[in-house]
A and B are shown apart, each in its own frame.
Chain A
Amino acid sequence: MTQARNEAPRWLTALSHSGPSARLTRLLHRCGICGRTAVIVPPLLWLTLFFLVPFVIVLKISFAEQQLAVPPYTPLIDWAGGGSPHLHLHVSSYAYLLGDPLYVQAFLSSLWVAAISTALCLAIGYPMAYAIARADRSWRNTLLLAIVLPFWTSFLLRVYAWIGLLRNNGLINQLLLSLGIVHEPLVMLQTDFAMYVGIVYSYLPFMILPLYANLEKHDPALLEAAVDLGCTPARAFRQVTLPLSLPGIIAGCMLVFIPAVGEFVIPRLLGGTNSLMIGRVLWDEFFSNRDWPVASSVAIVLLAVLVAPMVILQRYLGRDGAPGAATATMHGRPQPGAPQPLP
């Protein structure tokens, strides 16, 4: 009888030998309940009920058709008629979605915007993460706090602040005008530019923290060895640091890309009307058009598109678990000694 290394010893699930709770334990055990079940069941049940089941419902509704009723969609299973139930699967919403170039365009532009934003976050975030990782130990916590602090203040308010900065009569234009760099206010609000600024601004820590968590673990002796063996610092960076930081880069990119695809608030507030993002589509379909089936199909298709990046992220979260903890500490206090990685 073999035991896998991760299996708990039998005594943990065996009956307790003595004590007043023995009888109760035996009774519960007969019902298949033991101490461990009491720990596993509540979160499992909660998540199944409030995470998994809703998705099944979304899937179900995506196969319905819009109908003037409460709820405003056709039922999946028709019990009327007394006989065997009829399954009504309408793929019309999917057909509508995939057939209309507007929706396809929205999907593609969302992917494109997310990709560009990810690239920008990487370009800006990598030097910052690297600088913090190389900084004096006594400064590091302060710098991390400085990076994280803005994100404890309301996200919405900060986006709002950018509106103020980017407007035609906003601070930036005032500065440019007074310095004589431009003679007319630059139109920055309600453009793609503003949207990118907003997205990069909001998602930057999602890139910096996993990168930092990875870079911090690099052994400085590796770079010293490379330089000692004749590498220029630039080459040493390219050949030693960059490859080693690849897991952090990938984790950071996925943590930015995946949520950015479905980003709704920023394009709404900062973006122009021509940059149609899929998150906005979903919102409008649901709230404005009251077309639940189409909104659901949008969600399902979006999920399908994101499955591949999510799987990639899962693999990197497992291998170098730092990103998960790092993301989480984005809003919380970094533990003394910077974000702790999962082993």
Chain B
Amino acid sequence: MSVRAEPPGHTWQEPQGEPYIRLEHVYKRFDALAAVDDVSLSIYRGEIFCLLGASGCGKTTLLRMLAGFDEPSSGRIYIDGADMQNVPPYSRPVNMMFQSYALFPHMTVEQNVAFGLKQQRTPRAEIATRVGEMLGMVRLQGLERRKPHQLSGGQRQRVALARALIQRPKLLLLDEPLGALDKKLREHTQFELVGIQQRLGVTFVVVTHDQEEAMTLATRIGVMDRGRIIQVGTPRDIYESPRSRYVAEFIGNVNMFEGEVTRAAAGELTIECRELGLELHAASAAPAAAGTRVWAAVRPEKMQLSLERPADTANLIGGVIAEIAYLGETSTYLVRLEGGRMLRVTQPNTQRDGEPRLARDARVWVSWHAAGCMVVID
């Protein structure tokens, strides 16, 4: 089993790292519609880069342009320094794992996996060894002679993966890889994928609309909306430091408060929120001038729910519990504030019996640290 020479490190964090894949001002227009609108990206070697977005945001179009099935209307794509313009898919060092797996129904598992090597005119003995290796890696030994319709969904996916990886491509594209699997299998496969990627050192670009998938798989995520890249960052960056309202609301759940900056001290902003009738305190690295209209965003798990009024907190507000959803690991509370506004608060269930007084119609206090509050400008 051959592993790449250099262990994949955090190449995207090296200051002088050369991007392995570069997209420069890529546009794709279909008639009047811009499916991909001025996308420039740098993807580094050994990454698992996720393009995340709702359907229709252009992520699949972008993927197809990387694969070579569509040409950009303008802009350039470079893979390992080589310009991919006019290069057909069969000449690119790129392989793709399709959403429907696209296994050749009239060929056996063995023949499917060997297909790419056959096109390269690899000698038969070598094909046999490499196919055996690959099938071992994806745990499909013994199933060589089966045809795709004799396999389960999970097995088919592994064949598709083996088939795409056997040529050791520079880039592997995955289109919604886990969409067709059920929950347990999905979790299991997520970790398998990451394991295989790290062993082989192949650069992955994954397209998905599933946030959980993106957060689990990705080293970096690119959030897309209507053909544009809104933000690129590690899962933590995207979740804890969204740079726009769209990203904050798209990922996970969030409580948004509109307000105006009244004071900007060292690393902390004071925001006047008219709706709540409060002053909010938020930690922010970026300075903002007084008077700027901003949105304070607080994630539900950053909030604390208590029956007694806590002393000495940066942000505090009172309300009444309207709804409780018990989810096993956590419970989600919908707290109605005086103005009618609903807050969404999540608390871990640290005790089996829970707190009986935290029931519907109980009066509670919701508090959160300044560090738990994000600030986004539209």
Direct contact of A and B (CB under 8 A): yes
A interface vs B, CB < 8 Å? 1-5, 9-12, 14, 16-18
A13: nearest chain-B partner, CB-CB: B86
B9 at the interface (CB under 8 A from A): no
Judging by beta carbons under 8 Å apart, are B86 and A1 in contact?
A: no
Judging by beta carbons under 8 Å apart, are B30 and A5 in contact?
A: yes
Given known A-B contacts A1-B74, A17-B91, A9 and B69 have beta carbons under 8 A apart: yes
Judging by beta carbons under 8 Å apart, are B74 and A11 in contact?
A: no
Judging by beta carbons under 8 Å apart, are B87 and A10 in contact?
A: no
Judging by beta carbons under 8 Å apart, are B86 and A2 in contact?
A: no
Judging by beta carbons under 8 Å apart, are A11 and B30 in contact?
A: no
A9: nearest chain-B partner, CB-CB: B71
Set of chain A residues within 8 Å of B91, measured between Cβ atoms: 17-18
Q: How distant is the Cα of A17 from the Cα of B89 in the complex, in angstroms?
A: 12
Q: Which of A3, A5, A11 contacts B87, CB < 8 Å?
A: A11
Residue of A3, A10, A18 most packed against chain B (CB within 10 A): A3
Set of chain A residues within 8 Å of B87, measured between Cβ atoms: 11, 17
Q: How distant is the Cα of A9 from the Cα of B86 in the complex, in angstroms?
A: 9
B378 at the interface (CB under 8 A from A): no
Interface pairs (21), CB distance under 8 Å? A1-B73, A1-B74, A2-B30, A2-B31, A3-B28, A3-B29, A3-B30, A3-B70, A3-B71, A5-B30, A9-B69, A10-B71, A11-B68, A11-B71, A11-B87, A11-B88, A14-B86, A16-B88, A17-B87, A17-B91, A18-B91
Judging by beta carbons under 8 Å apart, are B29 and A12 in contact?
A: no
A19: nearest chain-B partner, CB-CB: B91
Set of chain A residues within 8 Å of B73, measured between Cβ atoms: 1-3
Q: How distant is the Cα of A167 from the Cα of B91 in the complex, in angstroms?
A: 72
A15: nearest chain-B partner, CB-CB: B86
Interface bin, chain B: 10 to 19
Closest beta carbon of chain A to B131's beta carbon, Å: 25
Set of chain A residues within 8 Å of B28, measured between Cβ atoms: 3
Set of chain A residues within 8 Å of B86, measured between Cβ atoms: 10-11, 14
Set of chain A residues within 8 Å of B31, measured between Cβ atoms: 2, 4-5
A12: nearest chain-B partner, CB-CB: B88
B29: nearest chain-A partner, CB-CB: A2
Residue of A9, A12, A14 most packed against chain B (CB within 10 A): A9
B69: nearest chain-A partner, CB-CB: A9
Set of chain B residues within 8 Å of A2, measured between Cβ atoms: 29-32, 73
Per-residue CB contact flags for chain B residues 77-97 toward chain A (1 = under 8 Å, else 0) read 000000000111101000000
Set of chain A residues within 8 Å of B30, measured between Cβ atoms: 2-5
Q: How distant is the Cα of A17 from the Cα of B31 in the complex, in angstroms?
A: 29
Q: How distant is the Cα of A10 from the Cα of B73 in the complex, in angstroms?
A: 10
Q: How distant is the Cα of A12 from the Cα of B86 in the complex, in angstroms?
A: 9
A3-B73, A9-B69, A14-B86 provided; 12 other pairs, C-beta below 8 A?
A1-B74, A2-B73, A3-B30, A5-B30, A9-B71, A10-B71, A11-B68, A11-B71, A11-B86, A11-B87, A12-B88, A18-B91
B84: nearest chain-A partner, CB-CB: A11
Set of chain B residues within 8 Å of A17, measured between Cβ atoms: 87, 91
B88: nearest chain-A partner, CB-CB: A11
Q: How distant is the Cα of A1 from the Cα of B75 in the complex, in angstroms?
A: 11
Q: How distant is the Cα of A10 from the Cα of B31 in the complex, in angstroms?
A: 16
Q: How distant is the Cα of A314 from the Cα of B83 in the complex, in angstroms?
A: 45
Closest beta carbon of chain A to B29's beta carbon, Å: 5
Per-residue CB contact flags for chain B residues 81-116 toward chain A (1 = under 8 Å, else 0) read 000001111010000000000000000000000000
Q: How distant is the Cα of A269 from the Cα of B159 in the complex, in angstroms?
A: 63
Set of chain B residues within 8 Å of A16, measured between Cβ atoms: 88
From residue 2 to 49 of chain B, which have CB atoms closer than 8 A to chain A? 28-32
Q: How distant is the Cα of A3 from the Cα of B30 in the complex, in angstroms?
A: 6
Q: How distant is the Cα of A3 from the Cα of B61 in the complex, in angstroms?
A: 13
Residue of A4, A11, A12 most packed against chain B (CB within 10 A): A11
A11: nearest chain-B partner, CB-CB: B88
Closest beta carbon of chain A to B108's beta carbon, Å: 22
Set of chain A residues within 8 Å of B88, measured between Cβ atoms: 11-12, 14, 16
Q: How distant is the Cα of A16 from the Cα of B91 in the complex, in angstroms?
A: 9
Judging by beta carbons under 8 Å apart, are A9 and B70 in contact?
A: yes
B70: nearest chain-A partner, CB-CB: A9
Q: How distant is the Cα of A1 from the Cα of B73 in the complex, in angstroms?
A: 6
B65: nearest chain-A partner, CB-CB: A9
